[in-house]
Structures are given as C-alpha cells and as structure tokens.
Amino acid sequence: MKIDRFEKTFTTAPSARRATRRWRRRLVSIVIVLAIAAGYLWFYAPQYLPAYLAQYRQAQIQAGEAGGRGGRALRGDGPVPVLAAVANKADVPVYFDGVGTSRALNTVTIRAQVDGKLMSVNFKEGQDVGQDFVLAEIDATIYQAQYDQAVAKKAMDEAQLANARLDLERYARLMQTNSATRQQHDTQRALVAQLEAQVQADQGAIENSKAILSYTKIIAPLAGRTGIRQVDAGNIVHAADTTGIVVITQVRPIAVIFTLPQQRLAKVNKAFAQEALSVQALGDDNRTVIDRGTLTVIDNQVDQTTGTVKLKAEFPNNDLQIWPGQFVNVKLLVDTMRQVIVVPTAAVQRGPNGTFAYVANDDNTVAVLIEPIQGEAGIIVPPDDYLPRLRALCTERNALMIADEIQSGLARTGCTFACDHWGVVPDIYLLGKALGGGVVPVSAVVADRDILGVLHPGEHGSTFGGNPLAAAIGSTVVAMLRRGEFQARSTELGERLHARLRALIGRGVIAVRGMGLWAGVDIDPVLATGKQISLKLAERGVLVKDTHGSTLRFAPPLVITGEEIDWAIGQFADVLAEAGSHLSGTEI
C-alpha cells in the first residue's frame, strides 16, 4: 500500500498533549454518568444509598409529605396515570379475523365446438356479458348445407313411406279376394316399417345437424366478465383447440376462501347451525369495510399441517372491490353480546394478570389522561371521532385533557404530536424519550402559563430534566423539530414502511396498524409467537418489541433511510418464511 498520499497527521503517533485532552474528555463523561446514576439512586432507589444518606433521604420524603408540597411527586409510589373514557351499554359484535383469497364463483373457458373460420367476435375484452350472449360466430355455410341435406333426405323418405302405405292397403284388399298372396302383403308391411324407421333416423340426423349448426354461434353459458381475447376474427378454430377463445369469470357474486385456527371451529359451527353468519371484507388498511357477505361453507376437515380449517363466503361485489386472486382480510361475525357495558379501547389497561380498567367517581374529577395512540397495546389507533369527542367532553366538564405523547410525540407519527392528526390540542402534553435524543433520559410536561403557572420551583419533581445537559439536549431537539424536516421524513418513510409490511399480509402477517415510523404488526399465531420472531430478528440485527403474544412493534429511528427500511423488512420476510417452513417442529 502506498502511503505517500496520506497526511502526516494520520501517519504519525499522537502527541502527549492530544492524549491528555482525550483523557480529560473521558473524565468528564465518567463524571456525567456518575451524576446521572447518583440522581437516580437519590430520587428512585434510596434503599441502595449508604445508611446515613438513606436515613436523611427518608426524613426528607416524610417532611415533604407532611408539608404537602410535592413530596409524593418525588417518590416512586406516586399516583399511577390511567386513561379515562365514558362507559355505556351497547351491543358488542364478536368477530374472528382471518386472511383469505378471493375466487371467481364460476370460471369458464370458452372453446369452439366445431371447426371453421371465425367470422366475428362480438365482445370487447373486459366486457360484462349476460347469459346466452353471442360471443362469436363461426362460418356456418357447410353446417347449414348439411342441415338442409338432412331435411331433404327426410322429405324423400317420407314420400316413399306414403307410397308404401298405399301399396299396403291395396295388398290388403286384394288378399281378401285371393288376388294377392299373404306373402306379398307381409313383404309390403315390412317395407312400410322399414321406411318408418328410416324417417325416424332422418329426424335424428336433422336434430344432430341442427345442434352442430347451433354450435357456429358461440354463446356465454353464464353471466360474467370476459378476459383477454385469445383468438381474433378470421382465424381457423378447431374443436380440439386447448387455448379457447376467451375466459369468462363470474365476479358478481364472488367467493372468498379464508382460514381460521381449529380452536375456533367449535364456536363457528355452533353459530353457523343457528343462522347464516355475516362476513366483512376489509380494505388494505384493515379497517374499511369494502363488502359484506355471508358464510356458505365450512370445510369438512382440518388441515393437519397448519391446524387451520377453510371457510368459504360469498359477497355481492356490486362495486367490484374484490377481484379474483386478491388477498382479502375478513371478519366473521360469530356472536353479538347484547347490551353489555363497553368502554373505548384507549381506556383499557394491561397488567400482569390481563386487561383491566379503572372506575372513576363523579366527584372531584379534574383531568383525563390519555395516550392518543396506544403503544404498549400494540399501536392501537383510535377511531377518528374519539379524540375530538373527548376534547369536547373535557371542555364541557371543565376538566384538563392530558395527552401522554411520550411514545407517540415529537414527529414519530408524521406530526409533531399524534394529537395533531385529529386537530386536537390538549391542555397538557407529557413528553419523553425522543426529547433526550435517544441518549439522555429527559422528560417534560408542556402546557400554557395558565396551567403550569400554579407551580413554583420546589413544588414538583424532575426526572433529570432540570440539569444543564438535559436542558441543552431538549432545546436542541425542539429546535430541530421546529424546521418540520423530521415530520415530513417520518410521513414519507412511514408510507414506505407500512407498504412493505402490508405486502407481507397473508405470508405470516395478519394485520398492520400505526402511523408514520410506528407500526404494530400482528403475527399469525399458528406460525410463531411474537417473542420467537423478535429473537430471530435480533440475531439478524433488527430490533423490535414483542407484546401480547403475537404482536410486534416497529419503531425505527427518525434518521433511518429508505434502504435500511427495505433491508429490515427483507430480514423480517425471511424470518417469516423460515418460520413457515418449520411449522411441523416445536420451535421456529
């Protein structure tokens, strides 16, 4: 290797002065880390402090509680934030989600039944045709002549039969006067019978010629849509041709075949025996209902390789939103719980023992704390009218609306705050994580002066947000977000991320939710658990968070590139394919 092009500063050893500056920077970093650790122990883990410091800290906490000036805010056992929403009674439908493939109700390949020249093609490609529509015509000259010959042959044989019957009558009269023998009479009677049979054969030949002649008009056996024409007018077609002239598919109505886990088969069978079950077909966003149909068939056996059962549903498809061969997400309605107490999804909390909700009293309610988009629940986006209605309700009741934007805020979803998507401005924002640039633990409470002006220094706690380093980093993050660059970047790359993820629906992915660079992905539980998939992705250098058994959370950094997204989702697709190829094992 030649080194004459290198600068001397890169080929000589560092000086002692430069080494001294390096050690000074390391010392400063170590001091900052120790300060952060000491602050954490002081505020959140005083039990690990030396005995004399622990006693002093405990006395300080008790003094703060006695004085009622923020002591509880400094302790780790302070009030637990919850999400509040109005409960009411309603009918709750119970759906089973599945992924299926649409299939034309009937598919017919139109072929010629006789040989000849194709005189005309009477349809356009992609045309909707009715039953018995004349699609094409074959030259009928030869077949018309054959039909005319058969008709003429019958007329000739009928004339001979009429003459034979007259002769039979004459022989009968002559035999009575012994002018003719019985043998002559019997012979004539046999001739009549022979000619009668010949006339019947002629009639059969006429029917055959008529049928062959009708085959020169190629008609549609059912109503449907024509595909791409395979033969043009002027070509010679044969009954033995395999390609056919065109394919007609019946897309109104249309069928969708989907699968459900065998564990749900008993409940589906029970509901199906009582009444016809409604099925909804969903759009690409897995939320919009594009058509509604009914369940028609439950397969008579379970696929032992996948542990699933096939079901078939029919949809009117009046708007042609479903196309043959298309992957379709479906929701099968198996039950409806009548007049039960319901709350919005955002008000449901999750704990080690499952889901739960708090019941708020009517008195002394001063604020509602809500996550605009639930992160730990698997990126649950609320209905479009939920946050605006909650904002109006808080204003009406004179209650503060507090938006927990710790996970969803600061450009993660494509807007500065997730609430911006619905045009909602809460009274208080809770911020964190991204505020520290992903390096320093910083949190913040943001509100106008009328709200936060009631607090004074020393009356509220701080999670490392009061030190100069945290303040400097937070200010820098705010300045970067003010330009709008990262919001636009999150929107653009978020569309790319969601498109790549939705492309995996039906290949191990059941549903994709979220906004911007934040996505919740439901994995087919038959394929693997979320934890198994996340561990496999970690081995490949892709970090995701598994939650609730079969849901993965994708939250890439806002500085990620499109190529890095493609690479990461490519790794995800490979892991899903690997899991699908090992379904018969106990582990992926």
Tell me the two tokens of residue 242: 């395999």
- The angle subtended at Cα 213 by Cα 212 and Cα 219, nearest 5°, is 90
Beta bridge partners, 63, equal none
User: Is the separation of the CB atoms in 188 and 163 below 8 Å?
Assistant: no
DSSP-based three-state secondary structure for 76: coil
For residue 288 the two structure tokens come to 């919009």
Q: Which CATH class is domain 86-126+220-342?
A: mainly beta
Is residue 255 within 8 A of residue 291, CB to CB? The reply is: no
Task: Give me the CATH topology for the region 486-580.
Answer: Aspartate Aminotransferase, domain 1 (3.90.1150)
Name the residue ranges covered by the structural domains of the chain: 8-74, 86-126+220-342, 140-215, 346-482, 486-580
Tokens (6 digits) for 317: 């498809």
Q: What is the pLDDT of residues 293-338, one digit of tens each?
A: 999 999 999 998 888 999 999 999 999 999 999 999 999 999 998 8
What strands lie across the sheet with 428-431, from one edge to the other?
367-370, 400-404, 428-431, 444-447
Question: Cα angle vertex 451, ends 446, 453, to 5°?
Answer: 95
Asked whether 400 and 366 are in contact (CB, 8 A), the reply is yes
**Pair type for strands 349-351 and 354-356:** antiparallel
Beta-carbon count within 10 A of 245 CB:
22
Question: CA nearest 253: which of 284, 225, 226, 275?
Answer: 225
Q: What is the CATH number of domain 346-482?
A: 3.40.640.10
Alpha-carbon gap, residue 294 to 255, rounded angstroms: 10
What CATH number does the domain located at 140-215 have?
1.10.287
pLDDT beneath 50: ranges in the chain: 1-16, 45, 48-49, 52-53, 65-80, 82, 584-588
> Mapping DSSP to helix (H, G, I), strand (E, B) and coil, where does residue 346 land?
helix
- pLDDT at residue 461, as a whole number: 57
Cα gap 365→505, rounded to integer Å: 44
Residue 416 confidence (pLDDT): 93
| Three-state secondary structure call for residue 352 | coil
Q: Which residues of 109-132 are buried (b: 16+ CB within 10 A; e: fewer)?
A: ebbbebebebeebebeeeeebeee
Which H or E run contains 511?
Answer: strand 509-514
138 - beta bridge partners? 118
Task: Tell me the angle at which helices 562-580 and 530-539 cross, rounded to the nearest 10 degrees.
Answer: 120
pLDDT at residue number 261: 92
Exposure pattern of 320-353 as b/e (b: 16+ CB <10 Å)? ebbebeebbbbbbbbeeeeeeebebbbbebeeee
Tokens linked to 394: 């808080």
Q: CB of 140 within 8 A of CB of 366?
A: no
Q: Cite the DSSP H helix spans in 329-431.
A: 386-397
Three-state secondary-structure class, residue 375: coil
| Amino acid found at 452 | L
Taking only the tens place, the pLDDT of each residue in 210-225 is 999 999 999 999 999 9
